[in-house]
């Protein structure tokens, strides 16, 4: 990592701190909102789903803005918005104000992800992007190794403290990006981005992007917000304390596995074989979900989480590389913003899972998710084959 430029090194560190801020609060969010607002599990899922849905649509325009304005300043704005949002959540009493706060934090998170991807692509040659993304993803998962356990521990003493700490971390992360000179990584001007309407037309006409995004959307129902539906499942099938203990162990297992193995996987993932990697990652997701449905002990939960994590380690860099391959240089933010529409799967996930948990036997949720990720993997595989045929 020390061989990279200042902007890349700072971006790596900020990616870690921002994930720490989210990881401290994320496993507690479902339980916190349920207790604070007096909502049942299905209503909490609906609330979170609405927030993610609106934030994802806003991020589509945000990707276009990222192509036009200075990305560093936009990242600073997203971090400030996250900090404010986490603090406001501690005052959650009114349903509508809480929804607005969740939309702010989710939009900021989406724009940070899009902007950081665009900065990586702008400042690195093609051959180094997969490796850099794997390093970045490994660093962010260090946050998941420490954040949830820290959040659960702190919440045992003072329930709102994890959200206040998350806001403080997001705020102080701003100073890392402020220290980067505006022209730290100058790039040649390729041309002014077209209007938003014309950009939408360009995205609409890219059928490969549309097919791939639809596949990612179905897969994201499974992997995009797995902490939320696992929390929902555990709160239905066990008591609050055991649910928190299992979630802390699962998130730590997920993060540790990524820390140890992500870089190794990232070294071997290539653009030419992306569709096969995606097929393998999808298969591992399905095996992990089946393992969750059968888990009856901490060990079995962690084994299923490890298998699930192997799929995650393949899918995340593969999606990044695929869009990076498709995107024109001057429309990278817009393409990442369009592909980020797959996060709508994350919006649908808590709603769908909440409904299934309320009206069907609890393990049914995992079998439904397995079917969705299988369909998503197929669409992504077909998208990869279209690219391969076009290149040949």
State what percent of residues in the chain have pLDDT above 70: 93
Give 391's pLDDT tier (boundaries 50, 70, 90).
Answer: low
pLDDT above 70: residue 188: no
Which region among 169-178, 212-221, 252-261, 307-316 has the lowest average model confidence (pLDDT)?
252-261
Provide mean pLDDT across the span 188-205: 70
Q: What is the pLDDT of residue 12?
A: 86
Q: Specify the pLDDT at position 189.
A: 45
Q: How far apart are the first and last CA of the chain?
A: 35
What pLDDT sits at residue 186?
A: 44
What average pLDDT does this structure show over 146-171? 85
* Per-residue pLDDT, 181: 57
CATH code, residues 6-181+193-391: 1.20.1250.20
Quick one: pLDDT band at residue 392, thresholds 50, 70, 90?
A: low
Q: Does residue 269 come out as left (phi exceeding 0), alpha (psi in the -120 to 50 range) or beta?
A: beta
User: What's the pLDDT at 187?
Assistant: 47
Q: Are 29 and 310 in contact (CB under 8 A)?
A: no
pLDDT in tens, 92-147: 778 888 889 889 998 898 888 888 888 887 888 777 777 777 788 778 777 766 77
Task: Report whether 132 contacts 4 (CB < 8 A).
Answer: yes
| pLDDT beyond 90 at 291 | yes
Judged by average pLDDT, the poorest of 21-30, 73-82, 127-136, 182-191 is: 182-191
| The pLDDT of residue 299 is above 90 | yes
pLDDT of amino acid 1? 56
User: Does position 57 have pLDDT exceeding 90, yes or no?
Assistant: no
* Total-model pTM: 0.75
Q: Of 181, 293, 183, which Cα lies nearest the Cα of 230? A: 293
**How many angstroms separate the CA atoms of 375 and 370, rounded?**
9
- Cα–Cα distance between 269 and 248 in angstroms, integer? 30
When pLDDT is averaged across residues 69-93 and rounded to a whole number, the result is 86
CA pair distance 229, 223, nearest whole angstrom: 10
Average pLDDT score over the chain:
83
pLDDT at residue 265 tops 80: no
Residue 304 has pLDDT above 90, yes or no: yes
- Find out whether 223 and 278 touch, Cβ atoms under 8 Å: no
- Cα–Cα distance between 341 and 335 in angstroms, integer? 10
pLDDT digits (tens, 9 = 90+) for 270-281: 777 888 999 999
Per-residue confidence (pLDDT) for residue 128, from 0 to 100 = 75
**Domain range list for the chain:** 6-181+193-391
SS (H, E, C) the chain: CCCCCHHHHHHHHHHHHHHHHHHHHHHHHHHHHHHHHCCCHHHHHHHHHHHHHHHHHHHHHHHHHHHHCCHHHHHHHHHHHHHHHHHHHCCCCCHHHHHHHHHHHHHHHHHHHHHHHHHHHHHCCHHHHHHHHHHHHHHHHHHHHHHHHHHHHHHCCCCCHHHHHHHHHHHHHHHHHHCCCCCCCCCCCCCCCCCHHHHHHHHHHCHHHHHHHHHHHHHHHHHCCHHHHHHHHHHHHCCHHHHHHHHHHHHHHHHHHHHHHHHHHHHHCCHHHHHHHHHHHHHHHHHHHHHHHHCCCHHHHHHHHHHHHHHHHHHHHHHHHHHHHHCCHHHHHHHHHHHHHHHHHHHHHHHHHHHHHHHCCCCHHHHHHHHHHHHHHHHHHHHHHHHHHHHC
User: With bands split at pLDDT 50, 70 and 90, how would you rate the model's confidence at 74?
Assistant: confident
CB 101 within 8 A of CB 85: yes
């Amino acid at each position: 990592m020390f061989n990279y430029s200042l902007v890349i090194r700072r971006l790596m560190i900020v990616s870690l701190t921002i994930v720490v801020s989210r990881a401290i609060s994320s496993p507690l969010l479902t339980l916190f909102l349920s207790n604070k607002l007096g909502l049942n599990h299905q209503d909490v899922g609906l609330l979170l789903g609405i927030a993610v849905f609106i934030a994802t649509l806003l991020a589509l325009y945000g990707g276009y803005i990222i192509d036009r304005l200075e990305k560093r300043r936009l990242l600073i704005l997203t971090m400030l918005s996250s900090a404010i949002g986490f603090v406001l959540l501690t005052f959650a009493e009114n349903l509508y104000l809480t929804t607005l706060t969740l939309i702010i934090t989710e939009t900021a998170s989406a724009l940070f992800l899009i902007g950081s991807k665009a900065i990586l692509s702008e400042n690195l040659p093609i051959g180094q992007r997969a490796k850099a993304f794997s390093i970045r993803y490994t660093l962010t998962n260090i946050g998941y190794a420490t954040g949830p356990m820290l959040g659960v521990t702190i919440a045992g003493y003072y329930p709102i403290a994890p959200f206040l700490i998350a806001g403080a971390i997001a705020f102080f992360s701003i100073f890392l990006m402020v220290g980067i000179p505006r022209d730290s990584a100058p790039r040649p001007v390729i041309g002014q981005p077209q209007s938003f309407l014309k950009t939408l037309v360009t995205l609409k006409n890219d059928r490969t992007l549309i097919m791939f995004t639809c596949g990612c959307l179905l897969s994201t129902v499974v992997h995009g917000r797995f902490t939320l539906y696992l929390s929902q499942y555990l709160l239905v099938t066990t008591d609050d304390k055991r649910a928190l203990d299992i979630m802390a162990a699962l998130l730590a297992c997920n993060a540790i596995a990524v820390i140890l193995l992500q870089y190794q996987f990232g070294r071997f993932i290539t653009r030419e074989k992306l569709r096969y990697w995606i097929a393998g990652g999808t298969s591992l997701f399905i095996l992990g979900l089946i393992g969750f449905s059968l888990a009856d002990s901490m060990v079995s939960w962690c084994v299923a989480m490890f298998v699930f994590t192997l799929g995650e380690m393949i899918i995340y860099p593969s999606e990044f590389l695929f869009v990076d391959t498709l995107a024109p240089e001057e429309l990278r933010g817009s393409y990442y913003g369009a592909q980020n529409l797959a996060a709508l799967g994350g919006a649908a996930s808590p709603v769908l899972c909440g409904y299934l948990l309320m009206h069907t036997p609890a393990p049914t949720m995992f079998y439904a998710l397995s079917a969705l990720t299988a369909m998503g993997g197929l669409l992504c595989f077909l998208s990869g084959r279209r690219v391969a045929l076009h290149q040949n």
